[in-house]
Amino acid sequence: MNEPTTLPESGELEVSIFGPGFGECIVAHVGEGDWIIVDSCLGPDGQTPAGLDYLKRIGVDVSTSVKRVVATHWHKDHVRGLAQTVVECSSAKFICSQALWSNEFVALTDLWKKRGLPSSPLDELSRVIDTLAGAPGAIKGSNAEFPIGFAGPNRCLWRRRSAGDSTDNNSAELHSLSPSDAAIKKSLEMIASLFPAGELLKKPIPPRPNQFSVVLWLRVGSVRLLLGADMEEKNNPFGGWKVIVESAERPDGKASLFKIPHHGSETGEYGPIWTEMLIREPWALLTPFNSGRVKLPREDDAQRIVGKAKNSFITAGFDDRSSRGKTGTINRTIHETVRYIKKANDSFGHVRARRKISPESSGWVVSKFGDAKSLTELCAKKKV
């Protein structure tokens, strides 16, 4: 796989999105050597956090240069490798929904830890909680910077001021546009439902909908980006895209780059996003979701997105997965038992979008690495 090796320039904005079939991570250079990481997934080796690995390979000192690590929600495909990321980005503030620091959620992680069972999404978050609770500044009475920040509606999560006015190329801000207070309350109810009584233990599968996701608005100079996480629109008054778009307090301006929400699904689509929050023909980035019988984006989803943003890119396709061989005692036995078996994440790709921060810049320059492709290419491949 051809790999990127160059650092962005100080005055260059970068958004890199990583995705195997199951997982998503975004890293963003917001100028002057400052980086932000959003979510986490594992790279092709199945062990190393993809975003962290990329930053280290291009020479970023993650312990000082990463300013914020954001967990948009706690679905497994967005948190694998998060604990290691938090540990290594030791001067970054960790941003998440307040619900993850509730009695209920902390109790849930503790109960799972006591069972001593591996491979739970709570495992990752449990380690994040332990790491942050032990950080200087975490305890009451400490003067050091507090290591945790709660995302909320139209809340500023990070700011880099400059000597000039707010549209100076050196200034930058990261805002969360969600979750709403009502969504936080709902998410606490949802967490409470993960304490089943009188039944056998099952691995917790966070239920949908994804109204509890943290949607991010990033401004660097006059360039704006909308990172949609897994936010959906389901006509719920307490959360969703409608609440975000219609909020009078959200930051102004229109984004030129859009991280498509919820892997391009129909439920992540909400028309007014495109008219109210995005420029005409923005660049669009997304990751696929390929697990079990669920494959996103579907063909019509991809067509819809390409219809609104011809410069759309996806980190991986669907049909790149290989199955086991059929020889050998183990493989023969497996094939005799199952209807199919495939590697869960056989493809992996990275889409990197860069542009100069200055207003005169023409636009984004996109590079594709690994199995990444344009969405147009994916649509064409599906038709063949």
Partner 1 sequence: MSDLKPEFEDVSIVLVGSFNPAIFHPVWFAREKLIQQEEADRANIKIVSHDVTVFSIGWLTVEVTLDRFVARTTQIQNLEPLRDLVLGTFGLLRHTPIKQMGINRIAHFQILSEEVWHQLGHRLAPKEPWAGLLEKPGMRRIQMQGIRADNYKGSISVAVEPSLTTKPFGAYIEVNDHFDNDAEEKGNQCDRMMEILAESWQTCLERSFRIMQTLVK
Partner 2 sequence: MMKLSDEAVSELSNLETAALSSGRQIVRENSRVASEAEAANLTGSRWECRRFLSNPAGAHVVKVPEGNVSPSYSHTMDIKRLRAEPADKPAVVWVPVIPPSREGFDVLQRFEGIVLSVQGDSFIARLIDKTNASPEEEAEIPLAEIMPGDRELVEPGAVFYWVIGYRREEHGQVSRSSMIRFQRLPSWSPAEVERAKKAAETFLSFLDLERANHPA
Stretch 4-43: interaction string toward partner 1, x if CB under 8 A: ----------------------------------------
Strands 66-70 and 93-97: parallel
Query: Closest CB to partner 1 among 113 and 382?
Result: 113
Among partner 1, partner 2, none, the one that 133 touches (CB under a kind-dependent 5 to 8 A) is: partner 2
Stretch 205-234: interaction string toward partner 1, x if CB under 8 A: ------------------------------
Residue 183 phi, psi dihedral angles, 5° rounding: -65, -35
- Sign of the CA dihedral running 194, 153, 277, 162: negative
- Sign of the CA dihedral running 177, 181, 187, 191: positive
Residue 274 Rama label (left phi>0; alpha psi -120 to 50; beta): alpha
Q: Is 197 one of the binding residues for partner 1 (CB under 8 A)?
A: no
Among partner 2, partner 1, none, the one that 144 touches (CB under a kind-dependent 5 to 8 A) is: none
Among partner 2, partner 1, none, the one that 63 touches (CB under a kind-dependent 5 to 8 A) is: none
Question: What is the closest distance, in whole angstroms, from the C-beta atom of residue 265 to partner 2 in the complex?
Answer: 16
Contacts of 248 (CB under 8 A, 6+ apart): none
Among partner 2, partner 1, none, the one that 116 touches (CB under a kind-dependent 5 to 8 A) is: partner 1
Q: Which two tokens stand for residue 357?
A: 């921060």
Q: State which amino acid sits at residue 107.
A: A
| Cα–Cα dist 154/245, whole Å | 11
Binding range to partner 1, per CB under 8 A, among 110-118, 154-162, 228-236, 323-331: 110-118
Q: Is 202 one of the binding residues for partner 1 (CB under 8 A)?
A: no
Closest to 123 (Cα-Cα) out of 45, 208, 203, 213? 203
Residues 158-217 that bind partner 2 (CB under 8 A): 158-159, 195-205
Binding range to partner 1, per CB under 8 A, among 73-81, 111-119, 141-149, 274-282: 111-119
Among partner 2, partner 1, none, the one that 383 touches (CB under a kind-dependent 5 to 8 A) is: none
**What one-character-per-residue DSSP string does 245-310 give?**
HT-TTS--S-EEEEE-GGGG-GGG--HHIIIIIEEEEEEEEE--EEETTEEES-HHHHHHHHHH-S
Among partner 2, partner 1, none, the one that 326 touches (CB under a kind-dependent 5 to 8 A) is: none
| Cα–Cα dist 116/210, whole Å | 28
Q: Is 329 one of the binding residues for partner 2 (CB under 8 A)?
A: yes
Q: Is 330 one of the binding residues for partner 1 (CB under 8 A)?
A: no
- Residues at the site binding partner 1, with contacts judged by CB under 8 A: 114-117, 200
